[in-house]
Amino acid sequence: MKRKFKYDPEDLESLLLNKRFDELYPEEKEFVLRHMDSAEEYASMRKTLLSIVEQPDSGPAIRPRSSTKRKLMREFEDEKTATWQVWLNGIFLPFNRRPVLSYATLAVILIVGGLFFFNQSDTDKVMLAENKEQPKEEQQEADKTDDLEKNLEPADNSSEEPENELPSAETEEELEEELPSVDESETIQSTQKEEIEINEDVKEDAVMDLQVAEATNKTTKDMETPADSEISNERKVTAAESEPSQSTEELAESIQPQIVREEVADEKLTVTETNTDSFMMDDQMGNMYEQTTMQSQDIVVGKEARLEVEPTSMSKASFLLQNLHTSM
């Protein structure tokens, strides 16, 4: 029967360190003698091993220099900072450390900054667009008032380009909204007719007065010296501008845009009363009444403005018309 050894050859070290040859068990001796020639060799090896193991250090243990630790701790700090500064070292540290990362970081910052800037400008544009929406309505209203003011200019201009004064599709709709409905317009027409009949007499009187005034002016002009004429012109100007202008300005300031538009609409109607020629034509045209009234209104306003003080704004015209009403 083959004997089984308890120890492996690798365990010889422990045997050598712990047991003398005579202290070994028989199987241990057998095991040792398989790897060694004799008991003497075992004893010799044991002594050598013990002398090595028990060997006191040939000198005091070397102590690492304190400067080595300081250096290492500094390196640790550098490495620690380098890890989080690696992406920003191009910004905060000189470029010569990691130029690729530095330029990459700079590029990223520029791109992000650019995107941010353009986004900001887009929002500004949107805000501008939003702001423009509000003025657009006001602009349309202003355009409408401008158109009306243009119509206040002398009738010669309006007669030259009558087609241009026709309202566009958009303004037509707006005007339709502003204009009264059919029933209302019928009642208005009837009342207007009555008023026209009454006012015809007044108009004729006014024309007569104007003619008389012109005749008197001519006679006074002939009698006046140049200096007197200048003074009189000044007086006319002041007389024409002082009271009415003050009142018109006050009206313009006090009246809100919406109200102004309403007044303009009223003025359109009232102004038509003053122009008898065009008004008669409008009266006879029946179905075309609404469209022609628009034209006739504009023309009449222009005439009325020219006859009076050539007002530059609708408010002045309205003032004059109000005066006309009160006088009637």
Partner 1 sequence: MSLFNKKYRTLTDEQLMELVAEKDKQAFSELYDRYSTALVNYFFRMLWKDREKSEDFMHDLFTKLIQKPHLYQSGRNFKTWLYSIANNMCKNEYRKQEVRKNTVNMDTPNAMGEDGSEAIRSMDRKDFDKELELALAELDEKKRAVFEMRFHEDLSIKEISEALECSEGTVKSRIFYTIKFLNGKLKHFEKAVNAILLIICSMLY
Q: Footprint of partner 1 on this chain (CB under 8 A)?
A: 8-13, 16, 35, 41, 44-45, 47-56, 58, 61-65, 68-69, 71-73, 75-77, 79-80, 83
Burial class (CB in 10 A: 0-12, 13-18, 19+), 318: buried
Measured from the CB atom, the residue of 71 and 97 that comes closer to partner 1 is: 71
- Least distance to partner 1 from the beta carbon of 64, Å? 5
Q: Which tokens belong to 311?
A: 């007002």
H or E stretch covering 21: none
147 and 172 Cβ atoms separated by less than 8 Å: no
Measured from the CB atom, the residue of 11 and 228 that comes closer to partner 1 is: 11
Sign of CA dihedral 322, 241, 202, 271: negative
List Cα–Cα distances, 291 to 132, 229, 267, 283, in angstroms: 32, 45, 16, 12
Measured from the CB atom, the residue of 35 and 236 that comes closer to partner 1 is: 35
- Least distance to partner 1 from the beta carbon of 88, Å? 17
3-state helix, strand, coil in the chain (%, to 5): 80, 0, 20
- Least distance to partner 1 from the beta carbon of 35, Å? 7
Measured from the CB atom, the residue of 18 and 238 that comes closer to partner 1 is: 18
- Least distance to partner 1 from the beta carbon of 30, Å? 17
Q: At what angle do helices 314-327 and 226-254 cross, to 10 degrees?
A: 100
- Least distance to partner 1 from the beta carbon of 69, Å? 6
Distance CA 139, CA 288 (A): 30
Measured from the CB atom, the residue of 52 and 223 that comes closer to partner 1 is: 52
Distance CA 24, CA 57 (A): 30
Q: Which tokens belong to 36?
A: 């060694």
- Least distance to partner 1 from the beta carbon of 115, Å? 33
- Least distance to partner 1 from the beta carbon of 133, Å? 57
Measured from the CB atom, the residue of 52 and 129 that comes closer to partner 1 is: 52
Distance CA 328, CA 325 (A): 5
CB atoms within 10 A of CB 102: 21
Measured from the CB atom, the residue of 58 and 225 that comes closer to partner 1 is: 58
